[in-house]
């Protein structure tokens, strides 16, 4: 189990250009596997184009109380990149004026940003339809100062989306660290106690599953049934939906794939499971990702690979929805993670 980020360890794979080199060379360079561009060209889907903006996903910082093995952000307690209030103010301006109906705050652990609560309070006033915070759950139990987060979320009608890789302690702790399961269960019970996740409640609580190794997620609907049954029977926990997400070969998951000698096999499985129907709805077509320092990306994955949007509007300070609409999406082989099987996005399956 990792205790430090790749950045802190000084690993080569902390560098986005090294990751992109790996994704472009080897089996993709020698023609064993088609590049993503070639693959989507077969069905005339290249270039991938951005449609109308619906979701603004804001990454408020890479600091996290956990150091999960699969993390594509390479987040951890040692990451110091944090969005400032000034950048948040620029984001608020965009939230007020853009046509997006969903605001999605992510990290790291977004709650660790010292201006997180101020930002949520201000953003909630805009009255955006769906206001998501991606909470890793353990942060709620990590320190006394976070214990009231469920109440805070409720006050601002926040939709909580939380990672929960499995309903058993062993599988969860293996991927996310010792003690994560017990803290997550307690946090879910705290959320349920004030109405989150209850069958008829408007306080939305969704869980995110991602595989614990070099394999693709199973069927989202049947996994949701299994999760619901087990969490209810074992802990009395209820939630609304389960999103099954594919791990993309980026940062710590890429490091894991290489270290465990699974990289090529995993890329083969992604390419073999390629589903052209999933391409139409990949999340970059209706989402914009904003980094802690205000730069714009097609998605959180491109943000981590430092692949900026292909548009003259590159920073939140010069946000221009018209210029961004219809832009060509920047792609590489990591995109196969979004188009395998039923597809994958921050809201789970897409096909």
Pick the binder of ligand SF4 from 68, 132, 160, 296 (CB under 6 A): 68
Q: Is 282 in the site for ligand SF4 (CB under 6 A)?
A: yes
Q: Is 335 in the site for ligand SF4 (CB under 6 A)?
A: yes
* N-terminal to C-terminal alpha carbon distance within the chain: 33
Q: Is 73 in the site for ligand SF4 (CB under 6 A)?
A: yes
Pick the binder of ligand SF4 from 329, 340, 342, 350 (CB under 6 A): 329
Min dist. Cβ of residue 249 to ligand SF4 (A) = 10
Min dist. Cβ of residue 309 to ligand SF4 (A) = 10
Pick the binder of ligand SF4 from 58, 188, 283, 324 (CB under 6 A): 283
# residues contacting ligand SF4 (CB under 6 A): 24
Beta strands in the chain, from DSSP E residues, in sequence order: 55-59, 102-106, 130-135, 159-163, 205-209, 242-244, 287-290, 296-297
256 contact partners, CB below 8 Å, separation of at least 6 = 69, 70, 214, 262
By rule CB under 6 A, what string of x and - marks binding of each residue 43-62 to ligand SF4? Answer: --------------------
CB nearer ligand SF4, residue 150 or residue 337: 337
Pick the binder of ligand SF4 from 102, 105, 107, 184 (CB under 6 A): 107
Min dist. Cβ of residue 125 to ligand SF4 (A) = 27
Identify the helix (H) or strand (E) that includes residue 181.
helix 180-193
* Nearest Cα to Cα of residue 131 among 146, 121, 145: 121
In the structure, how many helices (H) and strands (E) does the chain have? 15, 8
- CB-CB contact of 172 with 166 (8 Å): yes
Q: Is 246 in the site for ligand SF4 (CB under 6 A)?
A: no
As given in the structure block, the two tokens for residue 220 are: 């989202």
Tell me whether residue 16 is exposed, middle or buried, using C-beta atoms within 10 angstroms of its C-beta: 0 to 12, 13 to 18, 19 or more: middle
Binding stretches for ligand SF4 (CB under 6 A): 64, 66-68, 71, 73, 75, 107-109, 136, 163, 282-284, 298-299, 301-302, 329, 331, 334-335, 338
């Amino acid at each position: 189990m990792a205790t430090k980020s790749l950045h802190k360890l000084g690993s080569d794979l902390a560098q986005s250009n090294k990751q992109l080199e790996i994704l472009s060379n080897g089996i993709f360079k020698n023609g064993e596997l088609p590049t993503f561009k070639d693959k989507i060209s077969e069905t005339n889907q290249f270039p991938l184009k951005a449609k109308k903006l619906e979701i603004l996903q804001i990454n408020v910082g890479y600091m996290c109380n956990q150091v999960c093995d699969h993390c594509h952000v390479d987040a951890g307690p040692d990451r110091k990149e944090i969005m400032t209030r000034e950048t948040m103010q620029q984001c608020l301006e965009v939230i007020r004026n853009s046509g997006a109906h969903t605001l999605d705050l992510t990290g790291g652990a977004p709650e660790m940003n010292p201006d997180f609560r101020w930002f949520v309070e201000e953003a909630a006033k805009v009255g955006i339809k769906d206001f998501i915070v991606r909470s890793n759950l353990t942060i709620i139990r990590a320190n006394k100062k976070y214990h009231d987060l469920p109440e805070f979320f409720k006050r601002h009608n926040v939709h909580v989306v939380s990672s929960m890789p499995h309903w058993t302690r062993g599988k969860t702790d293996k991927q996310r660290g010792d003690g994560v399961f017990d803290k997550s269960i307690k946090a879910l019970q705290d959320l349920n106690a004030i109405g989150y996740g209850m069958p008829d409640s408007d306080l939305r609580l969704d869980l995110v599953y991602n595989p614990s190794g070099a394999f693709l997620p199973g069927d989202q609907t049947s996994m949701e049934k299994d999760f619901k049954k087990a969490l209810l029977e074992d802990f009395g926990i209820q939630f609304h939906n389960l999103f099954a997400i594919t791990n993309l070969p980026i940062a710590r998951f890429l490091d894991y794939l290489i270290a465990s000698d699974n990289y090529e096999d995993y890329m083969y499985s992604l390419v073999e499971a390629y589903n052209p129907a999933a391409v139409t709805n990949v999340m970059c077509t209706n989402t914009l990702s904003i980094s802690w320092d205000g730069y714009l990306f097609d998605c959180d994955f491109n943000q981590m690979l430092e692949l900026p949007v292909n548009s003259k509007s590159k920073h939140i300070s010069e946000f221009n929805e018209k210029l961004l609409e219809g832009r060509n999406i920047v792609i590489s082989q990591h995109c196969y993670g979004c188009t395998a099987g039923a597809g994958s996005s921050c809201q789970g399956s897409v096909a």
